[in-house]
Chains A and B, each alone.
Chain A
Amino acid sequence: MWTIDVLRSRAFRLALAFALAIAAAATVVFTLIYLQFSAASERMVGARLTDEAARALDAGDEELRAQITQRLASDLRRLDYAGLFDAKGALLLGDPPSLPPIRTDGRPHLVASVPARGAGRPDQAIFVAVRRADGSILVLGRSLSEINDLRRTVARSLALALAPTTILILIIGAVFARRAQRRLGDIHAAIAEIMKGDLKQRLPVMSEVDDLDRVARDVNLMLDEIWRLLDQVRHIGDDIAHDLRTPLAVARAKIERGLERGATIGELRAAMAEALNHLDRSAATISAFLRISAMESGRRERSFGPVDFSAVCAGLFEFYEPLAQSKGVAIALAAPRPTLVRGDEDLLREAISNLVDNAIKFTPEGGRVLIAAANADGLATVEVSDSGCGVRPQDREDIFRRFYRGGRDSAAPGYGLGLSIVAAVAKLHGFCLTVEDNAPGARFVLRGDGLVFDSDEAPRGAGAAAPKRSKASA
């Protein structure tokens, strides 16, 4: 597992590539140094020989012979050459034994293979040859064996340095690869658990913040969100099951009793009609659940546009006026000016309609219902207030929860469904929905950011003529 997987891992491959690159770079650098160094050494030797040969030309014969002898005698390492040849090229004095194959032009020349003095192996040397006034030829030279030794040393140290560097990089790469491998293995194992259905599992996160860690943290956040949504779905499922079980059980009981004891067609019909009623309630519950869920998942936002609360209220006032009158409830509208918000007109109308519906339903004969829309300080507000029985303070939070029944008169039909839809619509729009005491009665307030059309007398902000909207949290 360790060997093959590590060799295959990205980190190791990266280390390998890195090592190769470093080796190549080092080789180039060393090669350049090496070449520069050799050329410089050879130039130096050549220049010195040229100078010495030029100086020797001025010396007399005796003096020159003495110099040659002295030079050879003092050269303990036997690197120097100094020889005097006659005009025909025969050795008169000194070393090398034969005239090197170079021009006698007083300039340095490289001779590839010169038998070393003594028993040494043939070696490279640089020679300078000058012709003296009497026709004899003076040859001065120096073996390059010393420089070549140095070159070899440089090359060897290069090789010696390169190998451990490369190996070190590879080892470091392997260690990193191993670590990454282990983390990836952990992550892999965690993902496998998650895929098996354990959604509470999280990816391991180290204390250091690297890229892998960031991804792991992001994935964990995503899992948190998925878990939250799943939990919500599970709750919805539980809620549906709970809210459906009751009407279904009742419908079943009615039918069962009708079948067992219904002696006449009339009794059977009555039982069936009651059962149907409860089945309809189940269907309404399902529809409401689905609508609220669809709203809560926020899929409708693209249908948002400017909506005039005042116009919506006016339409609803006209729609509900006959119902209020038939119940002996006085209904009034106070929406004098346009009150623009951004939203889904159908949903907002449905929400406010539910509030008005409830208000009329819970207000006894002789009572009052007021629908009001207003715009103040950039907030658009719709208020539906009644003089009915009101909402108990302890119920004011709960009544917006899904399918909550109670608070006012739990016997009244459709109460829970309606308000939970209002709450869902408000949440979808980022509007604030509250219920207050109307003393007597209840006042439901839907409040959201107003759309502002910049007009001449009220320039607001930097926005031009376009509707301005800022989103508030619910």
Chain B
Amino acid sequence: MPQTASIGAKPAVLVIEDERALAEEIRYELQAEGYPVALAETRAEGLRVARAGGAAVLVVDRMLNHEDGLSILEALREEGNPTPILVISALSTVDDRIRGLKAGGDDYLVKPFELRELTARVEALSRRIPDSRATRLRAGPLEMDLVERSVRRGDRRVELLPREFKLLEYFMRRPNQIVTRAMLLEDVWNYKFLPQTNVVDVHIGNLRRKIDAGGEPRLIVNVRAAGFKLHVDD
């Protein structure tokens, strides 16, 4: 049954997945991150729980026992339900992805995926805020002026290349949130594949060297087996 009351600060997640073992793993991982999780195995059950409200994020398997998971998205969106939805699927072509997003999905993850990737995406969806029109971003000691294209850490001005500026902007819009390599590739570079080398890490390394000068505490930290996080005190 859906747990509508939230435990701690994290919002509830409804996972609609017919493969029991995978569903349990997802539940385990999300609960370990502090999310209350409800499971549904069929399209009908999933729709019922989703309509009842309470879930802040939906994770929907595209293929549910020969039922089309995308029809859940379409039904909810038709009813005007705006809950963010992460589609998980074994179908990986660009067409499949586009169809998934067109049906009302907010993000698309291809099986097999790392569970940390999934939790990072769920986190991103649960925190999704509309693009602010602010011209200045602030995160901890970092300050970014989007008009002047300038960055300061405290009093110190940080000189960044355009690609580094773009990367930092992405982090500053998601403070204290896990950002995976795949998310960076998709959103910052618009690449839909994972390079086989650690090229993303090199970019992060370069950015780090510029923003953490001379013994300052590290702002962008590695999150083991997941990705990175801009760690700042709120």
CA distance A418 to B163 in the complex (A): 25
| Contact for A360 among B112, B191, B197, CB less than 8 A | B197
CA distance A417 to B110 in the complex (A): 18
Does A320 count as interface, using CB distance less than 8 angstroms?
Answer: yes
Does B129 count as interface, using CB distance less than 8 angstroms?
Answer: no
Contact B112 A283 (CB under 8 A): yes
Contacts of A459 in B (CB 8 A): none
Contact B197 A361 (CB under 8 A): yes
Which residues of chain B from 158 to 208 have a CB within 8 Å of any chain A CB? 163, 189, 191-193, 195-199, 202-203, 205-206
Which residues of chain B from 107 to 143 have a CB within 8 Å of any chain A CB? 110, 112
Contacts of B197 in A (CB 8 A): 323, 357, 360-361
Does B94 count as interface, using CB distance less than 8 angstroms?
Answer: yes
Contact A322 B206 (CB under 8 A): yes
Contact with B along A316-344 (1 / 0, CB 8 A): 00111011001000000000000000000
Q: Can you name the residue of chain A whose Cβ is closest to the Cβ of B93?
A: A294
Q: Can you name the residue of chain A whose Cβ is closest to the Cβ of B188?
A: A319
CA distance A413 to B197 in the complex (A): 9
CA distance A300 to B93 in the complex (A): 8
Interface of chain B, helix or strand or loop or mixed? loop
Number of cross-chain contacts by CB at 8 Å: 57
Q: Give the shortest distance, in Å, between B206 (CB) and chain A (any CB).
A: 5
Contacts of A291 in B (CB 8 A): 92-93
Contact A320 B94 (CB under 8 A): no
Q: Give the shortest distance, in Å, between A403 (CB) and chain B (any CB).
A: 14
CA distance A286 to B205 in the complex (A): 31
Contact with B along A270-302 (1 / 0, CB 8 A): 000000000000010011001100100001100
Known: A283-B112, A300-B94, A318-B163. A323 touches B196 (CB 8 A): no
Interface of chain A, helix or strand or loop or mixed? helix
Q: Give the shortest distance, in Å, between B22 (CB) and chain A (any CB).
A: 13
Contact A413 B196 (CB under 8 A): yes
Contact A357 B93 (CB under 8 A): no
Contacts of A320 in B (CB 8 A): 199
Does A378 count as interface, using CB distance less than 8 angstroms?
Answer: no
| A: number of interface residues (CB 8 Å) | 28
Contact A287 B110 (CB under 8 A): yes
Contacts of B189 in A (CB 8 A): 315, 319
Contact with B along A360-390 (1 / 0, CB 8 A): 1100000000000000000000000000000
Q: Can you name the residue of chain A whose Cβ is closest to the Cβ of B205?
A: A326
Contact B95 A319 (CB under 8 A): no
Does A473 count as interface, using CB distance less than 8 angstroms?
Answer: no
Contact A350 B192 (CB under 8 A): yes
Contact B94 A303 (CB under 8 A): yes
Task: Sample 18 A-B pairs with CB under 8 A, ordered by A number.
Answer: A286-B112, A287-B92, A290-B92, A300-B95, A303-B94, A315-B189, A318-B163, A319-B189, A319-B191, A319-B199, A322-B199, A323-B199, A353-B195, A354-B196, A357-B197, A357-B199, A361-B197, A413-B196
Q: Which residues of A approach B to under 8 Å, CB–CB? A: 283, 286-287, 290-291, 294, 299-300, 303, 315, 318-320, 322-323, 326, 346, 349-350, 353-354, 357, 360-361, 413-414, 417-418
Further contacts, 19 of them, CB under 8 A, given A357-B196, A417-B196 = A283-B112, A287-B92, A290-B92, A291-B93, A299-B93, A299-B95, A300-B93, A300-B94, A318-B163, A319-B199, A323-B197, A346-B192, A350-B191, A350-B192, A350-B193, A353-B191, A354-B196, A357-B197, A357-B199
